Structure 1
Amino acid sequence: MSCRLRIGLTGGIGSGKSEVSRLFAEHGTVVIDTDVISRELVEPGQPALNEIVTVFSTDILDAEGRLGRNRLRKQIFSDPGKRDQLEAILHPRIHDRAFELADAANTPYCLLVIPLLVETRSEYALDRILVVDAPTEKQFERIATRDHLPHREIKAILDSQAGREQRLAIADDVILNDGGLDHLKAEVTRLDRQYRQLADTRPR
């Protein structure tokens, strides 16, 4: 049995996707995070990591043979063509694993957390899209606090992603994350109720 309703959750870096998905999980839904899948795919010994090393060289590996994400990020920003090569290696594998997990989920709806949903939307068969939105200045604050990156690097990351307007243009539902945790909890509770009602209208 698979979930009857597939919700794609997206948002820019520092928008609060992780907190929102955690709150949905507390309501008992299955959360499938493509970032987690991506990390699993590049563990030592995985075919995807071997392909990435072929493209980027062993310079992206640390002393233990693990992928150094900061090293990889620097290469991508210095050579945009390599981003396309990386995505060609990872995206099909991420997609297949995400829907394998969705097919196995025995819940009314499941949440697929897809940060690059604007860029990869055509690859995913979703019933609704939920965007976690945040003002750009809030994103800067959260990323600086969490990742301790300089302003220049944060700006480069934000500039490399789809903009707020692009994400909002594909949204069926929006959570504006510019307040506190109580606001987020209320929004997630409201949407959880809505998604369960929608799922009840789908064939079992």
Structure 2
Amino acid sequence: MRIVGLTGGIASGKSTVSNLFKAKGIPIVDADLVARDVLKKGTGGWKRVVAAFGPDILQENGEVDRAHLGQIVFSDPDKRQLLNRLLAPFISYGIFWEVFKLWIKGCKVIVLDIPLLFEAKRMDRWSKPIIVVWVDPETQLQRLMTRDGISEQQARNRINAQMSLDWKKTQANIVIDNSGSHEEMKQQFSQVFAQVTGPLTWTEFALSGHGALLTLVSVVVAVVACRNLFNNDGTKQ
């Protein structure tokens, strides 16, 4: 089994590349979707975040107002780190569980779509190759302003809240440059797709069993850790 890491930066085009993989029939584990699930009303993640940030972040129906919470954490690095710490164990468990289910089904290639792949530290250790969708800073800024209808300063704040795309580029095994047209990006994707869906090298084959075992062990550890740390209502024991 080959576990491909896919990351980038805000407005870099990572989601577009993820959708191209999906259109080719490659299963995607989307960290953003996992994060949404762990913040649903009544979950352990929801309770921890509400306890830390207060009821003002809630909508009338009790769900988290993600836009409001985003404004809070994007403007305050300490609060952003707090949110990441609160949700990290729940998100990690969710990702490991999705990978485990796909492994059981016999999937040969899985793409982990994780915006904070490098920030999560351990995630990048068992994802190979790691694909970074890169875009030049000015194009990224303009695309973000247009996409979200926000000011230049708001866009810069959101970009600066993440690791530099240039740094991520240096850590990648594969870089997709999305600074140009959509067609140019699709041409690059075709080459990348052929590479990640090709036969395993001898080195990858030798490590594939170890990688699968590591995934299984990670899931078990995550389950045990979550059960020991939290009871059913998400409060610490």
Q: After TM superposition, is the score higher than 0.5? A: yes
Match of 1:47 in 2: 44
Map residues 39-118 of structure 1 onto 2, 5 A cutoff. Answer: 39-105=36-102, 106-118=106-118
- 1:66/1:199 Cα in 2 relative to 1: closer, same or farther (>3 Å)? farther
Question: How far does residue 198 in structure 1 lie from its aligned partner after superposition?
Answer: 4.3
> In structure 2, how many angstroms separate the alpha carbons of the residues matched to 1:28 and 1:79?
39
Tell me whether 46-55 or 66-75 shows the greater mean CA deviation: 66-75
1:133-161 deviation digits (Å, cap 9, x = unpaired): 00111112221222111111111111111
Question: How far does residue 81 in structure 1 lie from its aligned partner after superposition?
Answer: 2.1
Question: How far does residue 79 in structure 1 lie from its aligned partner after superposition?
Answer: 3.6
Question: In structure 2, the residue corresponding to 1:48 is in which secondary structure?
Answer: helix
Residue type of the alignment partner of 1:37: V
> In structure 1, how many angstroms separate the alpha carbons of the residues matched to 2:166 and 2:37?
31
Match of 2:191 in 1: 190
1:122 lines up with 2:119 in the alignment: no
Question: How far does residue 78 in structure 1 lie from its aligned partner after superposition?
Answer: 4.4
1:59-108 deviation digits (Å, cap 9, x = unpaired): 11112212112221232244422222211121222122112212222322
Residue type of the alignment partner of 1:84: Q
Map residues 18-37 of structure 1 onto 2, 5 A cutoff. Answer: 18-37=15-34
Question: In structure 2, the residue corresponding to 1:86 is in which secondary structure?
Answer: helix
> In structure 1, how many angstroms separate the alpha carbons of the residues matched to 2:200 and 2:55?
47
- After TM superposition, the score normalised by the length of structure 2 is 0.79
**Higher RCO by CA contacts (8 Å cutoff, separation 6 or greater):** 1
Percent of aligned pairs sharing the same letter: 30
CA RMSD, 1 decimal: 1.7
Match of 1:151 in 2: 152
> In structure 2, how many angstroms separate the alpha carbons of the residues matched to 1:100 and 1:154?
34
- After TM superposition, the score normalised by the length of structure 1 is 0.91
Question: How far does residue 42 in structure 1 lie from its aligned partner after superposition?
Answer: 0.8
> In structure 2, how many angstroms separate the alpha carbons of the residues matched to 1:34 and 1:14?
16
> In structure 1, how many angstroms separate the alpha carbons of the residues matched to 2:137 and 2:52?
33
Contact 1:108 1:200 in 2 (8 A): no
Contact 1:130 1:173 in 2 (8 A): yes
Question: How far does residue 112 in structure 1 lie from its aligned partner after superposition?
Answer: 0.5
> Which of structure 1's runs of 4+ aligned residues deviate more than 6 A?
none
Match of 2:222 in 1: none
Question: How far does residue 127 in structure 1 lie from its aligned partner after superposition?
Answer: 2.0
Map residues 128-167 of structure 1 onto 2, 5 A cutoff. Answer: 128-167=129-168
Match of 2:173 in 1: 172
Question: How far does residue 53 in structure 1 lie from its aligned partner after superposition?
Answer: 0.4
Question: How far does residue 200 in structure 1 lie from its aligned partner after superposition?
Answer: 6.9
Residue segments in structure 2 that go unaligned for 5+ positions in a row: 210-237
> In structure 2, how many angstroms separate the alpha carbons of the residues matched to 1:137 and 1:128?
27
Match of 2:230 in 1: none
> In structure 2, how many angstroms separate the alpha carbons of the residues matched to 1:99 and 1:62?
30
> Number of matched residues?
201
